[in-house]
Structure 1
Amino acid sequence: MNTINKIKRDSIFKRVTKYAIIILVLGSLLNCHKNDDDVVNSIENQLLGKWEVTGGTFLESQPKYLIFNSNNTVNFLSEHSLGFKANENFDYTVSGSEIKINVQGFFPFEFILEQNTLQIIHGDNALELTKNNSAPTSDDWVKKLSILSKGDPPSGGKVDIAFTYNKTEIVYGMGSAATYISLIDPETFTEVGSIETTKKAKVVEVENFGAPDRYLFQSDDNSNLVSVYTMNDGAFQFTLQVDNDISGMASANSDFLWVVSNNNEGSINLVNVADNTIDQSISLGYYNLYGMDYQNNYIYITDGKYLHKCQTTPTFKAVTSYEVSDFAMQGIAFDGTNFWASGFDDLESDYKLVKTNLTL
């Protein structure tokens, strides 16, 4: 072999060797990246499903269950000591041993995942969980309601509602700009009448009583007093008193009125209308409740987002919780067939009246 051919052969060999090394390095890098992706995917797949909380706290709260979904969202299912349930849904991402959960901004948490046990760690707090395929689904935990009709109230704000005794008009509590209590046609959502008052009656209730002189109960702004008027002529009758600012009322019958009050530590009170005494009081701690309605021996009460159906005997306890997607329920009332709610529509960024598909 002459010298020129040897030089050409050596040059070709070097180039081939160089390209082979580059291909091997690239292949190794790609394989490492693929392995990293496989590890992340494996961890995310292990997270998927239903987990039961067995101990610890999460940002000063303690949910009962976490459900990690395949769309990178997680449901936190929680329950108050009185049975009020909540279902909150957040986005999450996983990177290495860190999980970021979008609780009003993505908060980073460390986690330790070992087969069917999970720890989510934030500072000195660690939430401990065990995989539980028999845990309730989010839809079983809080029942979803649909909207049958929706309209604009005459004024906005966090107010309660009621129905006139013949169910033909909605009695709409006074928003911040209102100067009277509105009467609304539930078919057209138009204002068809008004009730004059000297109170700032955000909370209203019509007595569950068949006589024409049935009462209209009104709250006043930041007050623990219930002003009682007759519906037929608007004449003032007397005042009832509870222990805190009033946020909701529900007439059980002509003798008793349920009243919920919020301000620091709130309570639900059963008021004897005849002698202005409190026959029963249920402490709420710092859990706020709002609009109420009493039907078939159950109280239906909102917490600013959810609606809870509550038994009153032998002990007070929520037995079912409901939600309307993207709607924060404030007031609640029954038209004889369906429940209605007043509240804030997140999608329209405005206060609305809605008729739901919930019946007795």
Structure 2
Amino acid sequence: MMFKAILIEGSRSDQKVSIASVNSTQLPEGDVDVDVAFSTINYKDALAITGKAPIAKHYPMIPGIDFAGTVTNSSHADFKVGDKVILNGWGVGEKHWGGLAEKARVSGDWLVPLPSAFTTKQAMAIGTAGYTAMLCVMALEKHGLKPEDGEILVTGAAGGVGSVAVALLAKLGFSVTAVTGRPEEAVFLKSLGASTIMDRAELSEPGKPLARETWAGAIDVAGSHVLANVCAGMKYQGAVAACGLAAGMDFPSSVAPFILRGVTLYGIDSVMAPKSKRLEAWQRLAEVLDISLLDSLTTEVAFDDVINAAGQLMEGKVRGRIVVPIQA
């Protein structure tokens, strides 16, 4: 049986991306087959499709680090034919064929059941970005932060992780400062619950080891000078959940915030997070996230437009999440 997929072929130095027809006999190893209903385009997918970073570890590769769909075949004890499932991370779309295709074959250990609160489309409107945002919020909560402790800063607030993080924190009662390089998104960010909008330029240049104590907590998707300045401006015993490197992998900071103010920096990995933490995150999303906001957070892109949309995402022209209907 043939199925449609976004296929990256060639080599790291000379890759070609196309919409291809692939034989199901070529699917990689796995004990669960899934008919993909919806997938997404994440920042990592855009890097892979555009070739801006070595995301694809071998060729050919089908990108798509997450998907939601229906099990069509399973030899895994936890899943049966007809089950609705979600996959986020685990190297899918990097080392293992991913979700931007009509069919996927994966390890059942990588799947989580679709929460009854969500449709497959809603699950992908949340996707890896929203699941990562929830992991960040959970880290701040487990640190002991409460709304009365003060403002929470969210960088990259108009992007996938940031927009969901703003919505989650606001729903939990926190006052949120949303950082963005796109001032035209201020109305959108306030509709998600942000109380203050901050220009990204204020955090993007080299700063002092310690700045005025401003934020009780933060969620950072940027890294580099942005993360360094965020840490410098934390209140005593504040916490930062870092989950991205959009501004760079470097961290030009000092130990001052950590040893003079007791600031904690939490590294958030969503790719290889254990299943127990994934289940907790998706359960919390079902409890906390205002589903009515998902439409404003989401741009739907047709399968045939995925390659072009990946380029737009890399150029910073996309708000929130991109959902791709595969065979809804």
TM more than 0.5: no
Q: More helix by proportion, 1 or 2? A: 2
TM-score of the superposed pair, with normalisation by structure 2: 0.32
Larger Rg: 1
Q: More strand by proportion, 1 or 2? A: 1
TM-score of the superposed pair, with normalisation by structure 1: 0.30
